Amino acid sequence: MKSQDIRSKFLSFFEDKKHSIVPSAPMVLKDDPTLMFVNSGMAPFKEYFLGNAVPKNNRIADTQKCLRVSGKHNDLEEVGYDTYHHTLFEMLGNWSFGDYFKKEAIAWAWELLVDVYGIDKDILYVTVFEGSEEDKLPMDTEAYGLWKQFIAEDRILKGNKKDNFWEMGDQGPCGPCSEIHVDIRSAEEKAKVSGKNLVNKDHPQVVEIWNLVFMQYNRKANGSLESLPDKHIDTGMGFERLCMVLQGVQSNYDTDVFTPIIREIETITDKKYGKDTKVDVAIRVISDHVRAVAFSIADGQLPSNTGAGYVIRRILRRAVRYGFTFLDKKEPFMYRLVDVLSEKMGTAFPEMKAQKQLVENVIKEEEQSFLRTLDQGLVLLNRIVDETKGTTVSGEKAFELYDTYGFPIDLTALILSEKGLDLHEKGFNEELQKQKNRSRAASEMSTEDWTILVEDKDEGFIGYDTLEANVKLTRYRKVVSKKDGEMYQLVFNVTPFYPEGGGQVGDKGYLEDAHGDVVYILDTKKENNVIIHFTKNLPKHINESFKAVVDAKQRHRTECNHTATHLLHQALREILGTHVEQKGSAVHSKNLRFDFSHFSKLTTEELQDVENFVNARIAGKLPLIEKRNIPKEDAIADGAMSLFGEKYGDTVRAIRFGKSIELCGGTHVKNTSDIWHFKIISEGAVAAGIRRIEAITNDAVKDFYSENNNLFLEMKELLNNAQEPVKALQNLQEENTHLKKQIEALLKDKAKNIKGDLKNELQDINGIQFLAKKLDLDASGIKDVSFELGQQYDNLFLVFATENEGKALLSCYISKELVASKGLNAGQVVRELGKYIQGGGGGQPFFATAGGKNPGGIDEALGAAKKYVV
């Protein structure tokens, strides 16, 4: 059975059971600070389990893209070494929100696996929760009794809390679960060892394929459990593992989910899968990682140096490193796999086809960048090796190479072993642990339980229409972190404060009670569909009403910038072409940032055209036309643009200014004339095929022109208040260019004159014409002198030094004949002599240079140069 059919049968089965089939949510979470990526099928539905939102249908099913590479659920290091863990995987799931429970979940799981998919019941095992003394929970006898209807009792196994009690996190909804395991070993192996003894023992052919979670408890901050008001079902089945079972193979990588990618890797690398263990691991790593990276980019997360972007960059670099080391690929190649991936998965996940070109461009650029890093790292590693006394390389030095330059530690260890050296792994691991501890301490946060004051599930945002409101505090909790210290999170029955989202920052403002006491709201965010207000202090009179007031000036400036991003998007598509798509934005009160897909740098004329386009719409005084809570399909049909990577509900808000129509939950000006003016500050590349414009509006533009006017007046004063300052500046530039040419000519004459003196100072040492000397020339002059002397001798060895602005420079020239006959290498010479000037460098075997910050070491370096020829 093909993978497409397996996926389709699952969704059709639950559609027949009255489930709504929903598309996969983007993998990168934007409104949940507790998770970086969707790491399980239930993550997009947390708000329903928490009771913060009501689903349109109490029964839902889907196939969800998941990523497990960080935090509690982290499979990264297992990927490639075993055959059933992945970074990105599909999780087939069905959910019930307060509707059906264990009876239906168990019966339908059995029906689908045995009756629909035709899996032999004699290769199945199930587990049930054995209970926990710690949590005072009894064994899940209800699930045990239900399973007895379908499967022999000796195949129902009792599982501990670790395996059979599923928790969302340290706090929140949780409950016992039943796992369904499959034993696909041969009959001979089964005769030797019973499958029940291998369940949850990391055996590659006895694996869990489906987990049925019975959500019936809530874990509180103190660790205790309380019953949820409604009971829920949350199931997750590993699609890749299910394909392995139904396609009769012994590895996920032997299914048609991976075989097309593996065949393409074989073609590109000229390596064969299944012949060599190290090659096999590398191919599995690459085939897995390219999926994770490609889908992340398609969902809107570009590789970067921070947060989720850093995780994606790390996954990609891990794959490149395996290709570099084990498949001999020293040039970009992973981007070529995107075509196969798009062909294979584009039907189920249309975002991959829509974003294919962008994904290829970004991956190729990242590969090229990391390969350059590897080249630089090899040079630095060679220097570390040269400085090492003995046979063991310092773990601290290796960690610096890993931490500062991104050079993989396993590659460091491999290269050292090839050179007959050992890595001090303990020292490296100690440094790594220190870094982890620092990072953990910086991000550590303790969160108390919510204190409920008023049972109110209908919290509403009213900030589109007003910046002030009388509100009631419905719940609060204290959070403590090293970064922010002690803070409080407040929730109101209604709020005019906009929560951070859609690129727009959260509102700030204050609360005032009837006694005149004021508490400042420092930020506003949304977590699991709840609007949370951050304060340093808890209001004194928590049960009374408050006047909530948004900072009107900041909100207005932010609205100007947000509306400007819509107009900018329209301008870019109009001037550059409809291939332009928004790839991210940041809307603050001071400025705006807009990322978009485009293949080249914008010209000065194009940037001016974009500015003019936006300012024409501002001058046109276009009114805001807003439609709230309309069906998404109606908004799209009306021409509204939706953004890849954004999660939209069944109903949306559409924002129109003239011909600019977008789905957007942010706040906007009532009329484009409120923006006053739009000014682009910068334009540049973010990644391959992604450009970034930074711009300002309103008061920031006024400040910009005022500052520039002051700078102009200062410049004019420096030019003696010239009537034509531009012409005066041009004259200065021309004069400067002329003087530079004169200096260059004088230096060349000086170099020619010095050449004769240098010839007289050459020493004949063992048949080599040797000279080590400090010269009063620049780098260019030294090179010229070296090469001119080199034309007259075939046995020349020169080391010259110079000092300029507190820095030292060493140059080494060796005749090519000496390089060949004596095995001398100028690059190696300057690397070693560079230690005396606290620097380093390199170059070609016959000419190389090194720079350093210690001119005081020049004499010592020149004295040490003679050892190479004596």
Distance CA 283, CA 371 (A): 18
What are the residue ranges of helices labelled H in 527-649?
A: 552-575, 604-619, 632-637
What's the pTM value of the predicted model, to 2 decimals?
0.74
pLDDT computed for residue 531 by the predictor: 94
Task: State the CB neighbour count (10 A cutoff) for residue 308.
Answer: 22
- List the structure tokens of 474: 């419905």
Place of tokens 């080599």: 768
Task: State the CB neighbour count (10 A cutoff) for residue 411.
Answer: 19
pLDDT computed for residue 406 by the predictor: 76
DSSP states along 177-203: EEEEEEE---HHHHHHS-GGGTTTTTB
Task: State the CB neighbour count (10 A cutoff) for residue 626.
Answer: 13
φ, ψ of residue 527 to 5 degrees: the values are -135, 120
In the chain (870 residues long), the average pLDDT of successive 10-residue segments reads 95 97 86 76 85 88 86 61 87 96 97 97 96 94 97 96 88 93 95 94 93 94 89 95 96 95 96 94 95 93 85 90 91 96 92 91 92 83 84 89 80 82 90 79 75 80 96 94 88 96 94 95 92 95 95 97 97 94 92 93 96 97 95 89 74 94 95 97 89 96 93 87 87 89 78 82 93 90 90 94 92 93 90 91 90 93 92
CA dihedral (763, 767, 772, 778) positive or negative: positive
Q: Count CA within 13 A, CB hemisphere, residue 97.
A: 20
- List the structure tokens of 806: 């507190």
pLDDT computed for residue 441 by the predictor: 67
pLDDT computed for residue 98 by the predictor: 93
Max Cα separation, the chain? 103
pLDDT computed for residue 73 by the predictor: 47
What SS3 string covers 493-553? CEECCCCCECCECCCCEEEECCCCCEEEEEEEEEECCEEEEEECCCCCCCCCEEEEEECHH
pLDDT computed for residue 816 by the predictor: 92
